[in-house]
Amino acid sequence: MKVAVVGVTGMVGQVMLKVLTEMGLPVTTLIPVASLKSKGSKIQFNGAEYSVVEMHEALKENPDIAIFSAGGSVSLEWAPKFAEQGTYVIDNSSAWRMDPSKKLIVPEVNGQTLTKSDTIIPNPNCSTIQLVLVLKPLHDKYRVKRVVMSTYQSITGTGVKAVKQMNNERVGIESDMAYSYPIDKNCIPQCDVFLENDYTKEEMKLTNETKKILDPTINVSATAVRVPIVGGHSEAVNVEFEHEFKLEELREVLSAMPGIVVMDDPSKQVYPMPIHAEGKNEVFVGRIRRDESQPRTVNLWIVTDNLRKGAATNAVQIAKIIATFI
């Protein structure tokens, strides 16, 4: 297959190349795509060297699959152009996620709903992906009513500029700011812009995308926080069910879900952290305990590498499904 990676020079694009190799997608020709300033630079992939091209050139190549990680405005302009000529587009931006004509896909959760006619497929928000992967088996078993959560999100979710800001702050160098405040030795309770309801766009993504992927009756209230780490996103999640549960059974339900690893042994201080989730494709769950303040409610701690399962891995898993249509 011919596969275009749009935004190949960015943080997600670079991880995308690694995941494409690791997951064995049958890529015969890679089309690395970036902005004009990166045109002509070299990319190594599967032992071969490729030259970066810009969008017009990539469109002429007529790839079988194009994976976009270049922002919403790029996707809105170019995804339809690729789709019109028969290319399947997997988009990592938020541009198409809430379009009622587009399916929002986490392969382990609803990948079976994809069909040949789904030519533009949005990748959910990174924080949503790890949340719904955990909620899916619990919703099937106990019916989720309400989720109250706080996220602890890696600066890699913002991009290279944020990583440079933190690293420069740590050695006392003034540089361009990705955030309005210092991030080193700090937590910023703002991911993305504020909306009219005083929630951030990121927080409302968690609400709206969870409803779209799982069930519109699930209520989600989120607080998203940026923290000075690079390994992945963490979430403290409080889940209220319609039906009663037993903790051991709940752990077994989670353990049986593809893509989930349960790490939960408080007596040995075993719980997931970004430092060990980095570079891995799984979603890790720990600190599983009953909420003693109200019935039928559990507390969970969910961690994953946001550049992998939160972006690249999920996109490549979608591509593997699409490959069966081609």
Domain ranges of the chain: 2-124+311-323, 127-306
Class of domain 2-124+311-323: alpha beta
Q: Is 187 one of the catalytic residues?
A: no
Q: What is the pLDDT of residues 227-278, one digit of tens each?
A: 999 999 999 999 999 999 999 999 999 999 999 999 999 999 999 999 999 9
Reported pTM: 0.97
127-306 CATH, one of 3.20.20.210, 3.30.360.10, 3.40.710.10, 3.10.20.30: 3.30.360.10
Other Cβ atoms less than 10 A from the Cβ of 255: the count is 13
Q: What is the pLDDT of residues 63-108, one digit of tens each?
A: 999 999 999 999 999 999 999 999 999 999 999 999 999 999 999 9
User: Pick the catalytic residue: 126, 187, 243, 276?
Assistant: 126
Q: Is 139 one of the catalytic residues?
A: no
User: Pick the catalytic residue: 56, 139, 233, 243?
Assistant: 233
Burial (CB count <10 Å: 0-12, 13-18, 19+), residue 71: middle
User: Which residues, 6 or more positions from 243, have their beta carbon under 8 angstroms from its beta carbon?
Assistant: 141, 142, 143, 296
